[in-house]
Structure 1
Amino acid sequence: MSQRHIAALDRVLELVVLLNFDMTGYLRKEGLTTSRTAVLWELDQRGPSTQRVLAEARGVSARTITGLVDGLESTGFVTREPHPGDRRATLVTPTARGTDILATMRREQGEFAALLFGDMPEGRFEGLVAGLDDLLERLRAAGLTVHAADEAADAGAATSAEHVPGRASGQASVPAGEPAAGVAPAGVAGEVRS
């Protein structure tokens, strides 16, 4: 491995540490974790959903999603309501507090994206996005996925592979997610904790 590759990795790691530190601090102040926020984003995209649907969408176990929904319910971000078409199921539904925080994060994501990329020359921006796509593809090919991160969190291990909202350097929060999966609007990497 060349020294320039190591220097590039050092920069990527510094970026991850800075964004993760600020994002998790922001979420903590709001009474959230990155895993719980990912569930909120899922509800934002799908609307009220059963825990089974949420577990499948997030690629996690029933036990993991139950713990995440328990945490969201106890902090006032969601409610569990009877499913109108299935007496055995309940629907997880965002509360006003849940929808308010999502709206705030979405707005702040746009502000933070403008701060980072607004005046970046188009060619440089496209190169950055292409490079990030290459890195993400390599990590996924090596078996690092956001779903594995959720399961690791369930097992009590803190990881750095989840894509969710956050804040950076006291600036706007950064909702993030897998663009193809629609977990949340485009964004950055963070950590998983339930």
Structure 2
Amino acid sequence: MCNIFDAAKQMQEKAWSVIEETSVVNHWSSIGATINLVGSLKTGLLINNRDIDFHIYTSPFKLSDSFLAMSKLAESKRIKSVSYSNLLESEDKCIEWHAIYEDQDGDSWKMDMIHILNESPFAGYFENVADRILKVLTPETRKAILRIKNAVPDDREVMSIQIYKAVIEDGIRDLDSFWRWEKKNPSEGIITWVP
């Protein structure tokens, strides 16, 4: 059986092949967008959740451009569904796109593409969070995070940022300890922790 780092590496290599096969970066770049990888793949902490996260910016913002980029992505025969939420009038000031991609093995990958207005309070925020996590990770904390993430049951939803905070800030090193930590540290909505 491969070790936790090998398992993460294999999953991340598959994620990169999804990005390459869909040409998602090119589709957004074709409308003049800046597309930034964020989340678990950016930090090297993707292991068992087939989820790829991008934050996208255009200047000026045009809703029709967002639809144009997504229409190009949707031309891929492996894109099985696309959903859209308009949060332009909310605090987030963004358009959320979610696409489901089915790989050659029949596994589904969720691609989250958040098209953010430049005046959103979250513009650039999660890019900074990912950079900070990368700076403070050690081999020990990386291993603890990957082991906890890999042990979370499929039917239990946990935000990765909670695990990062528990491990990096509070020294949590295993799943049972994490469950106890989570009870004492409930969260609702967007978590704004930065290491």
TM-score, L = length of structure 1? 0.27
TM-score, L = length of structure 2? 0.27
Give the strand-richer structure, 1 or 2. Answer: 2
Give the helix-richer structure, 1 or 2. Answer: 1
